Amino acid sequence: MTTAAIVPAAGLGERMGADKALLDLGGDTAIERVVATCRAAGIDHVVVVRRAGAAPLPATGAQVVEVAAGGEMADSLRAARATLSAAVTQVVVFPVDHALVRADTVLALLGALDRLGGGVALPLFDERPGHPVAMARAVFDEIEDPAATLRDLVRREPARVRVVPTASSWVRADLDHPQDLRAARNALAGSPWSTVEQMFRHRSHRAYRGYPLPQAQVERLVDAARHASTSSFIQAYAVVAVVDQARRGEVARLCGGQPHITQAPVFFAICADLHKIAAACARHGTQVQAQSFELFVQATVDAALLGQNLQLAAEAEGLGACMIGAARNHPIELAQLLGLPAHCYVVFGMTVGVPADDPIARGRMPLPGVLHWERYDEAVLDAVFDGADEGMREWSRRTNAERGGYNGRPVSERKGWVERMAIMWGGESSYAAARQTLLDELRRLGFGPF
């Protein structure tokens, strides 16, 4: 069988404000990515349809066909069809809008088409069809009808259509608006690590580039994060995304003046939210047991699980993040700033954005200090402490030598993990003193007394 790919790229790109085929996606133009994907899928004959007068394309080896400006996709398909030889038996319609679709998706479509023996194969993401679309030549030739559209070819005979489920959201995501382009670039900035690999690569980022996060990407990240485990399905969490510069400045003031809160494009306030539980109880004529320490713990754990999921989702899309425990410094003022209702508090914050720093990973204490078999083994702690101390000192040496220090200051290469913990949380702990009123403040926010 001989397969040809047709790439409609004749649009004006009015909503994008630029020629979509020439958009920069990770160092390659969108059209270069599509042609390279077709080649990787074994498709040698690629026809790109351009409007008359459009800017020239980079050299890709693809055939270019021109159509009048302002036409529909069907017009582009008919123009491309006129150039196909009789030897072409399969056609893949691959709009340039879907430049992030990978070769494995195209191969899966062609495989489904081969098994079908003639018809239509299209990708399915989240139970909805997308692009590219693979067709037998006989089906594609139906576009010759001046009234026919690609949708007509797909829907005309449902029995001849096969769907290929995919985990790639890019089969549905058009490059229509500038925020779509930013989302695509953010995704390309990430690496295709497995979930476990991504966990090992975690670092906290405290400097960010000046790129805003598209609203669609924020919604996607939180949507994924909220699928974390939740105790008894209470879902006792809420997220407040703060993007307004002035409001983030106020958040930073309440969180110890950390500059990356104002630098990051979004600050997420991760909240334990019993307000919804209280409202549900009220609807049924009862009162929430806000004095229950167990319910408080459940809500706090729920929020923590969501927050960890959110950070991992952001990192999977090439973003950097940093959790902000200082959100508990002034919980009442922060709750007022964010308009939180009763029975709701910020457990921690999180900055997220395209990272501008490259911190040395700190690693973690030796595994035996965390993983015990059958019973807690205190006998390993001395060896664990020695290993944790050496790990901390090695991180300090590397950070000073390779990054000029941490947050602009040299790091003590003498102190190990044990001494740092003793200073932070022993004796006259400034950390403990800073939040000694937290319990009373939580009561004022509607939790307890407990």
195 vs 47, residue with greater confidence:
47
pLDDT for the residue numbered 283? 97
The answer, yes or no, to whether residue 186 has pLDDT greater than 80, is no
Q: Report the percentage of the chain scoring pLDDT > 90.
A: 78
The answer, yes or no, to whether residue 221 has pLDDT greater than 80, is yes
pLDDT for the residue numbered 192? 64
d(CA 107, CA 115): 12
Q: pLDDT-based confidence at 191, cuts 50/70/90? A: low
Total-model pTM: 0.64
Tens digits of residue pLDDT in 237-285: 999 999 999 999 999 999 999 999 999 999 999 999 999 999 999 999 9
| CATH numeric code, 199-359 | 3.40.109.10
The answer, yes or no, to whether residue 211 has pLDDT greater than 80, is yes
pLDDT for the residue numbered 337? 98
Tens digits of residue pLDDT in 9-39: 998 888 888 999 999 998 899 999 999 999 9
Burial (CB < 10 A; 0-12, 13-18, 19+), residue 33, is buried
| CATH numeric code, 3-171 | 3.90.550.10
Tell me the two tokens of residue 56: 């020239």
Q: Which residues contact 337 (CB under 8 A, 6 or more apart)?
A: 247, 250, 251, 254
- What mean pLDDT do residues 172-182 have? 85
- What mean pLDDT do residues 182-195 have? 74
- DSSP assignment, residue 256? T
- What mean pLDDT do residues 164-171 have? 88
- The shares of helix, strand and coil residues in the chain, as percent rounded to the nearest 5, are 45, 15, 40
Tens digits of residue pLDDT in 354-388: 899 999 999 999 999 999 999 999 999 999 999 99
Q: How many CA atoms lie within 13 Å of 371's alpha carbon, on the beta-carbon side?
A: 4
d(CA 223, CA 404): 38
pLDDT for the residue numbered 173? 86
pLDDT for the residue numbered 98? 95
Task: Delimit the domains of the chain by residue range.
Answer: 3-171, 199-359
Q: pLDDT-based confidence at 129, cuts 50/70/90? A: very high
Please provide the average confidence, as pLDDT, over all residues in the chain: 93
Tens digits of residue pLDDT in 406-433: 988 999 999 999 999 999 999 888 878 8
The answer, yes or no, to whether residue 1 has pLDDT greater than 80, is no
pLDDT for the residue numbered 97? 93
